[in-house]
Amino acid sequence: MKRIEKRKITNLIALSASILCAALGLALLFLILYHVLVKGLESFSLGLFTQDPAPPNRAEAGGLRSAFLGQGLLTTAAVLAGVPLGVLGGTFLAEYGRDSKFCRLLSQLCDMAVSIPSIVIGTFVYAMLVKPFGGFNGWAGATALAIIILPVVIRTTEEMMTMIPWTLREAAFALGAPYHKVITSVVWRASINGIFTGILLAIARVAGETAPLLFTSFNSSFFRFNLSGSVPSLTVSIYQYAASPYESWISLAWAAAFMVTIMVLFLNILGRVLIKLRTRG
């Protein structure tokens, strides 16, 4: 009789502890979002997109237009390099190499590459593209980001294409289409939503990357439409301004953090919606 009471009490305590954990964990995580939102909105102004940072401790904090531009340039260049390479590579793994051991090894390697600490990628690109060329440059930054994108896109493409049933390809073969036609006109079309979601998530990931840019594109305050020389980015700007002793720069950092968070969340939600649409249709 007593034993059963004890068991029930243990159960109650353990389950209460789990509720407490959930409350604590979720509260902490939402607190982060809350602070970024509140502090970000406080410091937010349209000038953020149009002005350069003001010298410290002026009434006006100025803006981060060059960082927005630089971030855009770096990301675009990285996507242009990483996405086609990734989609084609993933296509090979899913189609031509689907039974090859070597290709399975490549898939595994991609899984590993996805989790290489991004700062290590930064040092690698520094050795390849910064040291030999005598200085920080945007091309190096874009390369570092592309290296982060590549394995993510390869794996998503591979997975999405493998999910397409073989009978669909047979139907196209039966009409006399060569394999590359079958891939480009049938398999890609059938898996486009999934692949696109993978690309969005990869972009979301690089949009928040800071460490690989520290030693590659670094930072600059020049507003230039050019990737040679140092290129500013939102994330490196956050890193430097938040560590500064000046109120006005710190508030710029919050504004930038707010923008980066919004962008990353937006891309993630968009990706999710796309996947939902696919599974429904």
The residues in 97-136 that bind other proteins, with binding defined as CB under 8 A, are 97, 103, 106, 108-113, 115-121, 123-124, 126-128
Cβ proximity of 61 and 249 under 8 Å = yes
Task: Considering the complex, state which of residue 11 and residue 50 has its C-beta at the smaller distance from other proteins.
Answer: 11
| 8 counts as binding other proteins under rule CB under 8 A | yes
**Contact map string, positions 130 to 169, toward other proteins, x by CB under 8 A:** -----------------x--xx--x---------------
Judged by CB under 8 A, the residue of 235, 248, 249, 251 near other proteins is: 235
User: What's the distance, CA 82 to chain centroid?
Assistant: 12
Per-residue binding letters, 11-30, with other proteins (x by CB under 8 A): x--xx-xxxxxx-xxx-xx-
Pick 50 or 102: Cβ nearer other proteins: 102
Least distance (Å) from other proteins to the CB of residue 78? 14
Number of residues that bind other proteins (CB under 8 A): 94
Rounded to the nearest whole angstrom, what is the least distance from the CB of residue 66 to other proteins in the complex? 18
Stretch that binds other proteins, among 165-173, 191-199, 220-228, 238-246 (CB under 8 A): 238-246
Choices 42-50, 72-80, 92-100, 221-229 (CB under 8 A): range interacting with other proteins? 92-100
Q: Which residue in this structure is represented by tokens 């990869």? A: 202
Q: Which stretch binds other proteins (CB under 8 A): 55-63, 84-92, 167-175, 188-196?
A: 84-92
Site for other proteins in 244-263 (CB under 8 A): 250, 253-254, 257, 260-261
CB of 239 or CB of 246, closer to other proteins: 239
The nearer residue to other proteins, 121 or 227, going by C-beta atoms, is 121
* Calpha distance 127→149 (Å, rounded): 20
How many residues are given for the chain? 281
3 state DSSP class of 53? strand
Nearer to other proteins, 3 or 280 (CB): 3
86: amino acid identity, one letter = G
Is the sign of the CA dihedral 50, 52, 56, 59 positive or negative? negative
Instruction: With beta carbons less than 8 A apart as the criterion, state whether 216 and 147 touch.
Output: no
DSSP string, 141-153: HHHHHHHHHHHHH
**Per-residue x/- marks for other proteins, 177-216, CB under 8 A?**
-xxxx-xx----------------x--xx-xxxxx--xx-
- Supply 216's token pair: 């590659």
Q: Is 76 in the site for other proteins (CB under 8 A)?
A: no
Pick from 228, 207, 222, 245: which is nearest to 137 by CA?
Answer: 228
The Cα 278–Cα 221 span in angstroms is 43
Distance CA 196, CA 152 (A): 12
**If we measure between CA atoms, which residue out of 63, 70, 54, 49 comes closest to residue 223?**
70
Alpha-carbon distances of 75 from 149, 170, 259, rounded to whole Å:
10, 38, 15
In the region spanning residues 32 to 61, those forming contacts with other proteins, defined by CB under 8 A, are: 32-33, 35-36, 39
Cα within 13 Å of Cα(20), Cβ side: 6
